[in-house]
Structure 1
Amino acid sequence: MAGRRRWSTEEILDAAAELLRTDDPDSFSVRKLAAVLGTDSSSLYRHFRSKTELLRAVADRVLLAAMDGYRPEGDWKQRITSLALRMREAFGQHPQLASVWGRHASGGTGSRLAMEEVLQALRASGLPEEEIPVRYHRIAVLIVALIASEAGFGTVAPTEHEHGMELFRVAVLGADPERFPALAHFARDVRPLGEDRRAAFEEILAAQLAHIETAVRPG
């Protein structure tokens, strides 16, 4: 009787990424993945010690894809913005993994490459060395939060999205002007959270970078 096939780490990650395209990360399990591969969970635990470690590795591959071909160009703000947009685009293609990344982070090669570039860019800004770690942390929290939040919209089914938009229109356009005077006044101009998110992403990030720029000492 032939033994079960031995799956490589990369093949396991490929299968996990494919499963996560249709499976919610909360319901994802090593047992489900093992069933897809036609093996048992114990064989996968030889590669990854836990479900969390596996999910981190899958998310890190998205970061590796974002970093593939990246070359630092422009000043320090342009470098960080370009990198952030590449990460946004990469996770936009894998929205389920964005929530995994936002929850569990990643210590893999992709993560370290992104961290290195942001830290190098902040060094180039002229910030005092002692301020760079804190400023890096603020940028990282902002980028992760924005990408993970946006990914939630990417996993909503079209019918569910349209239903949500209808509820938004009813709630906003029908706001009682006595109880919600400001909302009633701006109702026709207030946009749903899911609209124009790239512009919002860039503006929020730009504001954070401008704030950092004020801390750069002259000369």
Structure 2
Amino acid sequence: MTTRVPQERSRRRPTRSGVLLSEELIVATALRLIGEHGPEALSVRRLGTALGCDPSALYRYFHGTDDLVLAIADRIIGDAMAGFAPGDDWVAALREMARRVRAGYLAHPRAAAFASYRVTRRQNEIRAVETGIGLLLSAGFGPADATRLYLTFIDTVLSHAAMDAAFQALPRQQRESDHRAWSEVYQGLDPASYPALTSARRELHAMGESSFEEAIDLLLEALRARAPGSRPR
């Protein structure tokens, strides 16, 4: 069954309050509700109330909440990739792409938990995949390697982005408590039982920071080294 609503059913319609209903407005309102109340706020009834329309009107635009989730995920990708124009340096372009994806999920941390691992099969995602595989093809990888390596790249990016977003979505008190653990609990461990942690205790504060940048650097260094143009003749 198709995941897209037929075009003739996606006409803009005003709500009871006079607001012009559209797919874009529904997605934006869903993102706002999730940001304020969490993923559990994503229901047709609550959306209808927030939009001032009968909940059944939403089915003119989406088959159900899962279809809406895919649209939300695609909206996050679209916002993250807006204005992205890869240059001649494919490594620099992939690095910027990675940072944009992470920033997109950090902008909507409470939506990242259920959006980051979905396949949206919509235009923003399709354009992003086209761009990523195209960059690896431009590096000299064949189609099979470019596809497989892009999957490795984007899965790494999305995993870190979702984890960072999930941490950002925690209440401030919990985030601060987790940060303090590295400078409090881990500093008082028994050296005889934990010799490695004792030797690195002064550096453990970095464990409370995101490892995103270093992970992407390591991955891109490996990709550059494996690119056909970088191999010795």
TM-score, normalization by structure 1: 0.87
Distance, in Å, in 2 between the alignment partners of 1:104 and 1:34 is: 24
Instruction: Say which of 97, 108, 117 aligns to 1:94.
Output: 108
Instruction: Say which of 19, 28, 32 aligns to 2:33.
Output: 19
1:111-150 paired onto structure 2 within 5 Å? 111-150=125-164
Q: Which amino acid aligns with 1:127?
A: F
Counting aligned pairs with the same residue, the percent is 27
Task: Report the more deviating stretch, 46-55 or 185-194.
Answer: 185-194
Q: Residue 137 and residue 103 in structure 1: after superposition, are their counterparts in 2 closer, same or farther (change >3 A)?
A: closer
Please name the residue that 1:205 is paired with.
216
Distance, in Å, in 2 between the alignment partners of 1:112 and 1:24 is: 27
| Deviation of 1:26 (Å) | 4.2
Please name the residue that 2:226 is paired with.
215
Distance, in Å, in 2 between the alignment partners of 1:26 and 1:133 is: 35
Is it true that 1:33 corresponds to 2:47 in the alignment?
yes
Instruction: Say which of 99, 124, 138 aligns to 1:85.
Output: 99
| Deviation of 1:19 (Å) | 0.7
Q: Which amino acid aligns with 2:218?
A: A
Q: Deviations over 1:59-82 (max 9, x none)?
A: 211211222211111411111111
Instruction: Say which of 186, 189, 198 aligns to 1:172.
Output: 186
C-alpha contact (below 8 Å) 2:35/2:110 kept by paired residues: yes
Structure 1: any 5+ residue segments left out of the alignment? none
Instruction: Say which of 129, 153, 157 aligns to 2:171.
Output: 157
Distance, in Å, in 2 between the alignment partners of 1:76 and 1:135 is: 13
Distance, in Å, in 1 between the alignment partners of 2:180 and 2:111 is: 28
Aligned residues: 214
Distance, in Å, in 2 between the alignment partners of 1:141 and 1:88 is: 12
| Deviation of 1:41 (Å) | 2.9
Q: Which amino acid aligns with 1:201?
A: F
Distance, in Å, in 2 between the alignment partners of 1:194 and 1:171 is: 13
C-alpha contact (below 8 Å) 2:77/2:104 kept by paired residues: yes
Distance, in Å, in 1 between the alignment partners of 2:30 and 2:220 is: 36
1:50-65 paired onto structure 2 within 5 Å? 50-65=64-79
TM-score, normalization by structure 2: 0.82
| Deviation of 1:44 (Å) | 1.3
Q: Which amino acid aligns with 2:52?
A: G
Distance, in Å, in 2 between the alignment partners of 1:69 and 1:122 is: 20
Distance, in Å, in 2 between the alignment partners of 1:60 and 1:194 is: 30
Greater relative contact order (Cα < 8 A, sep 6+): 1
C-alpha contact (below 8 Å) 2:73/2:116 kept by paired residues: no
Distance, in Å, in 2 between the alignment partners of 1:26 and 1:191 is: 34
Q: CA RMSD in A?
A: 2.1
